[in-house]
């Protein structure tokens, strides 16, 4: 069985350590698992129900929904801004949770991981993302966690894929997400 995981990164910065963590996940995906790193979150406008009408949905939001529709599972990479989830990641969750009753997350496992400069690695933001995802209909894998603290120092000269400890933990996360596909009850 082939598994498709859609990766969403909550930072738009080119040198983002969360983006690097997502790139590492793409490289670490085992045979039979494909991780697609969605590249268009910067173009997705803030969710507005007035835009979310037949024939009026912005192309970037359509592309996000189409990518989500192809996915069997999701892996979100969340930095922490002011102690919470980033606007870009929350916006993606909002677009994918609509239209009401047709969430792209329904029946699909989702894990939230990330890295941040602080000593806790972004756990508050990751918890907020899990909360929003659960409300949006996702099957949140609450026990599948990875919070890497001190990103600015830890990844100053080393890409996460070359950090043996982080790469090993990230590979475990991917394996858990992959194993959860097909075990989730599509309510």
For the segment 28-37, the average pLDDT, to the nearest whole number, is: 97
Specify the pLDDT at position 185: 55
Specify the pLDDT at position 187: 43
Cis peptide bond prior to 183, omega within 30° of 0? no
Secondary structure, 3-state, 48-101: CCCCCCCCCCCHHHHHHHHHHHHCCEEEEECCCECCECCHHHHHHHHHHCCCCC
For the segment 112-127, the average pLDDT, to the nearest whole number, is: 93
Is residue 29 exposed (0-12), middle (13-18) or buried (19+ Cβ within 10 Å)?
buried
Q: What is the CATH number of domain 3-180?
A: 3.40.50.360
Specify the pLDDT at position 147: 93
């Amino acid at each position: 069985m082939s598994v498709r995981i859609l990766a969403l990164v909550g930072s738009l910065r080119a040198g983002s350590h969360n983006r690097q963590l997502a790139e590492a996940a793409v490289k670490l995906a085992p045979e039979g698992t494909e991780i697609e790193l969605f590249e268009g979150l910067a173009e997705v406008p803030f969710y507005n129900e007035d835009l979310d009408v037949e024939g009026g949905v912005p192309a970037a939001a359509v592309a996000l929904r189409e990518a989500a529709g192809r996915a069997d599972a999701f892996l979100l990479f969340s930095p922490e801004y002011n102690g919470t989830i980033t606007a870009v990641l929350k916006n993606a969750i909002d677009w994918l949770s609509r239209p009401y009753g047709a969430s792209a997350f329904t029946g699909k496992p989702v894990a939230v991981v990330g890295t941040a400069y602080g000593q806790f690695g972004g756990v508050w933001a990751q918890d907020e993302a899990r909360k929003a995802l659960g409300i949006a209909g996702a099957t949140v894998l609450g026990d599948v966690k990875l919070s890497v603290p001190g990103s600015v120092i830890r990844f100053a000269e080393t890409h996460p894929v070359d950090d043996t400890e982080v790469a090993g933990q990230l590979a475990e996360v991917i394996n858990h997400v992959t194993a959860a596909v097909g075990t989730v009850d599509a309510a």
